[in-house]
């Protein structure tokens, strides 16, 4: 079960890394809601990573659920902002959907998956000794990936917004990268 | 907003070095800050140039 949690967390990191890649490859600056969606995804992945690093605990799943619900609400808010015909969209579409729509789908699938996994009571039974080596490696990989993504986002957001509140419709970097051409 | 990412980064770091309880607290603080920032955006203080 720890390996499964590590895989799920890595998928979420992949989504955040994809958005991060689009930010620099396509020069698409993330809006404040986009950044909040990333935070929700990192929060959900944090709970799963704790499960992967240590034994699965209901508290860890609780954090993942809180992050997924929060991220789902934020992405739904952004979908709602653009759902009326003629109100445009933010950013480019990937496989037919915008990133915030994909994020909402990911959060919904994650909540369903956590609900299904929580049905397996045996994972919470006290077990003696260290976790298997594969689970240890997978957990550490997930934690390091989360750590790297968080600090990469710290730098990127500071470059985009400087120390002020992020602009609603960012068009250029306001921090140290203000001369970045993409 | 970068401070919230920093909070999650610290939470991951604490989890990695084995400080589970502080990591949980910092992670929950990160989620709370995210919720508060979302609440701020729900007040329609943002203006989208559509």
Say what the pLDDT of residue A179 is: 59
- The residues that bridge with A98 in the sheet, in sequence order, are A93
Q: Which residues of A touch B30 (CB under 8 A)?
A: 39, 42-43, 46
Residue A178 near residue A162, CB atoms below 8 Å? no
A104-128: pLDDT as tens digits: 999 999 999 999 999 988 888 876 6
User: Span A84-102, mean pLDDT?
Assistant: 80
| A178-181: long-range contacts, CB 8 A cutoff, minimum separation 24 | A181/A27
Looking at the complex, does the CB of residue A6 fall below 8 Å from at least one CB of chain B? no
Structure tokens at A70: 């929060």
- The partner residue sitting opposite A35, judged by closest CB among B1, B9, B31, is B1
What are the residues whose beta carbons fall under 8 Å from the beta carbon of A9, sequence distance 6 or more?
A: A45, A48, A49, A52, A142, A145, A146
Token pair of A169, please? 């419709």
Mean pLDDT of B1-26: 92
Residue range A123-154, pLDDT digits in tens: 888 766 666 778 888 888 999 999 999 999 99
Residue B26 has pLDDT above 70, yes or no: yes
At residue B15, φ and ψ (nearest 5 deg) are: -65, -35
Q: Tell me if A68 sits within 8 A of A107, measured CB to CB.
A: yes
Average confidence (pLDDT) over A64-82: 92
pLDDT of residue A130: 66
Find out whether A173 and A29 touch, Cβ atoms under 8 Å.
yes
Give the mean pLDDT of chain A. Answer: 85
């Amino acid at each position: 079960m720890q390996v499964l949690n590590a895989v799920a967390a890595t998928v979420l990191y992949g989504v955040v890394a994809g958005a991060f890649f689009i930010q620099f490859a396509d020069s698409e600056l993330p809006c404040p809601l986009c950044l909040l969606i990333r935070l929700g995804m990192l929060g959900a992945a944090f709970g799963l990573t704790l499960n992967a690093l240590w034994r699965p605990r209901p508290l860890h799943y609780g954090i993942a659920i809180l992050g997924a619900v929060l991220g789902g609400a934020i992405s739904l808010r952004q979908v709602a902002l653009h759902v009326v015909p003629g109100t445009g969209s933010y950013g480019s579409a990937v496989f037919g959907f915008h990133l915030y729509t994909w994020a909402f789908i990911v959060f919904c699938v994650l909540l369903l998956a956590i609900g299904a996994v929580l049905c397996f009571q045996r994972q919470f039974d006290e077990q003696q000794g260290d976790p298997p080596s594969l689970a240890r490696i997978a957990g550490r990989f997930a934690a390091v990936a989360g750590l790297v993504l968080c600090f990469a986002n710290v730098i990127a957001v500071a470059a985009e917004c400087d120390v002020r509140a992020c602009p609603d419709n960012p068009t250029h970097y306001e921090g140290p990268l203000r001369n970045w051409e993409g | 907003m970068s401070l919230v990412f920093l909070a999650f980064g610290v939470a991951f770091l604490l989890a990695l070095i084995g400080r589970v309880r502080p990591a949980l607290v910092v992670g929950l603080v990160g989620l709370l800050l995210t919720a508060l920032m979302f609440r701020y955006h729900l007040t329609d203080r943002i203006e989208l140039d559509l």
